[in-house]
């Protein structure tokens, strides 16, 4: 871990000991690429563990203000958990596998900075679950999403049975989880599973542009807003509103609040520092 960085193209790349992930930086935006294209970026144990380490690295890196997650190659974002590994599992190892994956996707969801899934191809099973843990989902018009675990005689285990109905409602979640069908990007957008569909060739540019927009916002306010929405959704309305008021008060304590309000009154763009 922590070896010297090297430059490739526009990105500064850290040469951490990742085998199945590429981690690149472009200013305040980090790009995580799941990189097992020969297996359609399927999440084996090593990849899940590397994703966990990458999330911890990015969470603690104050210079990173937004994260894009995508898949290597043109076919897949992530084609799910690694079925070859699953095939030899036991009830106990299966439970451990699900708990580990859930933990990593919780790290993604609660990273404290916005994450954008740039869905460049199939996002199936664990791939759909990873995308749902992200703050935004931009999909290439060629992408397909789904929870096909039922066809393997199992059920989603990385939060899919829970995040999917929260995003698209109970009936649509039942449809996707019980039939296992693959949903084209346009239909996924219509049901609220993806935020936006863009031409495949424009996907990364759109994702980077959104990330740059978010990276220019006040980081503490972003974090508090995401917390208010994500955690508040799990609470009764009155408790959630009380929680919102507390986080609103916290935002008032930041230098960025003073800068944002002053910049408005002085008719200039704010320069947020994250303090
Ligand atoms: N786990 C392990 N390996 C996988 C995988 C997965 N989830 N998804 C794809 N692969 C592997 C294939 O076994 C194949 O490997 P091989 O070349 O060594 O045989 C390679 O990736 C390419 O996949 P292939 O199935 O040949 O591509 P395709 O274009 O014909 O089909 C999919 C693409 C996505 C429809 C198909 O791969 C698929 O259904 N994958 C499984 C999706 C799934 O059920 N996910 C949930 C898992 S819990």
Q: What are the pLDDT tens digits along the chain (275 aa)?
A: 333 344 444 454 554 689 999 999 999 999 999 999 999 999 999 999 999 999 999 999 999 999 999 999 999 999 999 999 999 999 999 999 999 999 999 999 999 999 999 999 999 999 999 999 999 999 999 999 999 999 999 999 999 999 999 999 999 999 999 999 999 999 999 999 999 999 999 999 999 999 999 999 999 999 999 999 999 999 999 999 999 999 999 999 999 999 999 999 999 999 999 99
**β 76-78/122-124 pair status:** parallel
The CA-to-CA distance between both ends of the chain, in Å, stands at 28
Question: Residue 57 catalytic?
Answer: no
- Rounded to 5 degrees, φ, ψ at 19 are -100, -40
Question: Residue 259 catalytic?
Answer: no
Instruction: Determine how many CB atoms are found less than 10 A away from the CB of residue 203.
Output: 23
Instruction: Determine how many CB atoms are found less than 10 A away from the CB of residue 106.
Output: 14
- The minimum-distance atom of ligand 1 relative to the CA of 151 is 44
Ligand 1: residue whose CA is nearest its atom 10: 39
Q: Looking at residue 7, what is its pLDDT?
A: 40
Question: 238 exposed, middle or buried (CB, 10 Å; 0-12, 13-18, 19+)?
Answer: exposed
| Catalytic residue selected from 149, 227, 244, 266 | 149
Q: Looking at residue 17, what is its pLDDT?
A: 85
**Residue 80 zone, left/alpha/beta (φ > 0; ψ -120 to 50; rest):** left
Pocket test for ligand 1, best of 43, 83, 143 (most atoms within 8 A of CB): 83
CB 182 within 8 A of CB 80: no
């Amino acid at each position: 871990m922590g070896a010297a960085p090297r430059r490739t193209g526009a990105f500064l790349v850290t040469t951490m000991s990742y085998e199945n992930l590429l981690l690149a930086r472009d200013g305040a935006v980090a790009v995580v690429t799941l990189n097992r294209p020969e297996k359609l970026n399927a999440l084996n144990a090593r990849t899940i563990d590397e994703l966990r380490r990458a999330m911890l690295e990015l969470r603690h890196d104050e210079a990173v203000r937004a994260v894009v997650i995508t898949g290597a190659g043109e076919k897949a974002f992530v084609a799910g958990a690694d079925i070859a590994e699953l095939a030899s599992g036991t009830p106990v190892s299966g439970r451990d596998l699900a708990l580990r994956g859930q933990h990593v996707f919780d790290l993604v969801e609660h990273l404290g900075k916005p994450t954008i899934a740039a869905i460049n191809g199939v996002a199936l099973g664990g791939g759909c679950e990873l995308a749902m843990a992200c703050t935004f989902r931009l999909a290439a018009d060629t992408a397909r999403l789904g929870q096909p675990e039922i066809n393997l005689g199992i059920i989603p285990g990385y939060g899919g049975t829970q995040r999917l109905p929260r995003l698209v409602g109970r009936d649509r979640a039942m449809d996707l989880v019980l039939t296992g069908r693959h949903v084209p990007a346009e239909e996924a957008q219509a049901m609220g599973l993806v935020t936006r569909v863009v031409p495949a060739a424009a996907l990364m540019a759109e994702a980077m542009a959104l990330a740059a927009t978010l990276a220019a916002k006040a980081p503490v306010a972003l974090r508090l807003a995401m917390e208010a929405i994500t955690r508040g959704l799990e609470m009764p309305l009155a408790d959630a509103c009380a929680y919102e008021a507390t986080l609103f008060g916290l935002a008032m304590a930041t230098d960025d609040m003073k800068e944002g309000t002053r910049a408005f009154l002085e008719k200039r763009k704010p320069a947020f520092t994250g303090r």
